[in-house]
Amino acid sequence: MTTPPPEAPAPHVNTVLFQLKWKAELRASGAMTPRVPVQFVAEQGRALRVIDLRDKEELTGIMGHIPGSLWVPLERIAEVARHLDPDVPVVLVSHSGRRAGLAAQYLHALGMRYVAALAGGMIAWRTAGYSTSRRAAPFERSLTAPAFAPEEGPSAGPLTKEHLERHVGDPSQVRWARLSALLMTGRRSCVDGRDEQGVIGTPGGDAGEFLLALAAVERVTGALFDDKTVEEVLFQELEVFGRFYMHTDTHAWETLVAALASDPGLSAHRLPDLKDEAGWHAFVDHPPVELRPTVLERLLEPAHLGCGHLKLMLTRPQDYGVRPDLVRAFLRAYHGLRWQGVPELEFVTLSGVHDEAAVLTVYVEEDLWDMTSIPLVSPSVGPKQVFVAHPQVAAKHRDHYVEFFRRLTRWVKLEPHQVEPLRTEMNAIAATQLGHTLKSLANGLPLFEARFEGTDRVRVVEAGKV
């Protein structure tokens, strides 16, 4: 009797979540050739390999290349399949995307499961406002080179200034985009270190900033928002600013799924198997209309909120200065609009528990204007995590929020003399909330500042502890 082969280990939750995101992007593209958009690639950091297929002269020519990308000329494209695991996500880059699309089809035929072309190629990358480099670095890195050599990585002991200097100085971990591009097509992610993408970080991401802005408007005007107005204002936010980010995490997600699976109000309906991760994501993303009130009730429970900042905002209103009913009104509006098919709303699942080893605050050493280049920094430093905050970018966005609410006369009655007090109130609430969230989630962690002087120079400064 032969012994059956051992079962293959289940993919790590990070891998599963990334694969779901990847497949969603391919479905959204609607193209026969696998393509992923510029914004998706810009935000991924170490989650994927970016490989440029163009001639050597093109990489250092007028168009430049994506910082951190590798160079494999088109005639050697088969090397990618020989050197990389078939499950490694790879994005191929060419001038307009045509050559990369053909190469992606070829590598897929060789067995690579997560390979796609950058939609629109370098033309789209530059048009979207992302920075390029003309250095020869892509020629010097091999396909299999790790970001951290094993003896250098911070796998044991605390994160040091040197670790962070290597991290923020690594172009594969930092992408640059003009502030105007981020305002129109980017997003503000949470400071949460479990997000492996390159992020513009602020507590609670877009959701946290939207709620503090609503709370500031209530304080300044004295008028409270009702559920219908919150939904209207959120929809107008999407019309003006585009993408909108909110996250959960795997612990809150699993708790939510267990609650839904055992909810008597859903017992008469066919639900996914408890282990069917993709099935549950599809169910929560698009529940049947008759089940939405029950699903929404569960989504509003604090135990099912995976964003620590939003959960603290809901459960500690005295510290955060936001009415619990306002938080719940926002959550109802957010999920209600998602279920109506509004595409700008992102619901991201982060994996694991908080295990951040430091707080990293990112500054650009110049006064920001809309054309300033901003670094998107990955919170993954080797195998460790850091909280990442961009206070300058968040404050600049609040300036745009002041104009947004000033012009929203149909739903917000903001008098001219209340405009500057609104700006002051938003920044005051933000500072208070940041202090409470870091004290709750990052107490005792070392503080570092990354101060960028243009795209080529960065200083890391030790700034004490939380």
Q: In the predicted model, is pLDDT for residue 191 greater than 70?
A: yes
Q: Contact at 8 Å (CB) between 87 and 113?
A: yes
Residue percentage of the chain with pLDDT more than 70: 89
Which of 306, 351, 281 is closest to 12 using CA atoms? 351
pLDDT (0 to 100) of residue 121: 96
The domain limits of the chain are 13-141, 174-465
Residue 280: pLDDT over 80:
yes
Question: Residue 264's pLDDT is what?
Answer: 92
- Report yes or no: 141 and 65 within 8 Å, Cβ to Cβ: no
The mean pLDDT value for 12-36 works out to 70
Residue 13 pLDDT greater than 60, yes or no: no
Span 137-184, pLDDT tens digits: 666 666 766 544 434 455 556 789 999 998 888 766 688 888 888 877
Residue whose tokens read 């880059």: 93
Closest CA to 320 of 441, 188, 216: 216
The pairing of strands 90-93 and 115-118 is parallel
Q: Which two tokens stand for residue 317?
A: 């209103």
Which pLDDT belongs to residue 12?
42
- Please state which of the ranges 159-173, 252-266, 292-306 shows the lowest mean pLDDT: 159-173
What's the pLDDT score for residue 150?
39
CA 377 vs CA 172, 173, 189, 387: distances in Å: 10, 6, 11, 10
**Cβ neighbours around 218 below 10 Å, total:** 18
Cβ pair 208, 202 in contact under 8 A: yes
Q: What pLDDT is recorded for position 16?
A: 61
Greater confidence, 37 or 214? 214
Which candidate, 241, 247, 253, places its Cα nearest to that of 309?
Answer: 247
pLDDT bucket at 8, cuts 50 / 70 / 90: very low
Where do the H-state alpha helices sit in 110-226? 121-127, 161-168, 179-185, 205-221
| % pLDDT > 90, the chain | 61
Range among 154-168, 317-331, 352-366 rated most confident = 317-331
- The confidence band for 130, taking pLDDT boundaries of 50, 70 and 90, is confident
Mean pLDDT (the chain, rounded): 87
Q: Which of 44-48, 83-87, 180-184 has the lowest average pLDDT?
A: 44-48
pTM, two decimal places: 0.83
Please tell me the predicted confidence (pLDDT) of residue 377: 87
pLDDT the model gives residue 4:
41
- Mean pLDDT over 71-96 rounds to 93
CATH 3.40.190.100 fits 13-141, yes or no: no
CA distance 327 to 332: 9
pLDDT at 138: 60
Q: Burial, 75: exposed, middle or buried (Cβ in 10 Å; 0-12, 13-18, 19+)?
A: exposed
Q: What is the pLDDT of residue 145?
A: 62
pLDDT score recorded for residue 456: 77
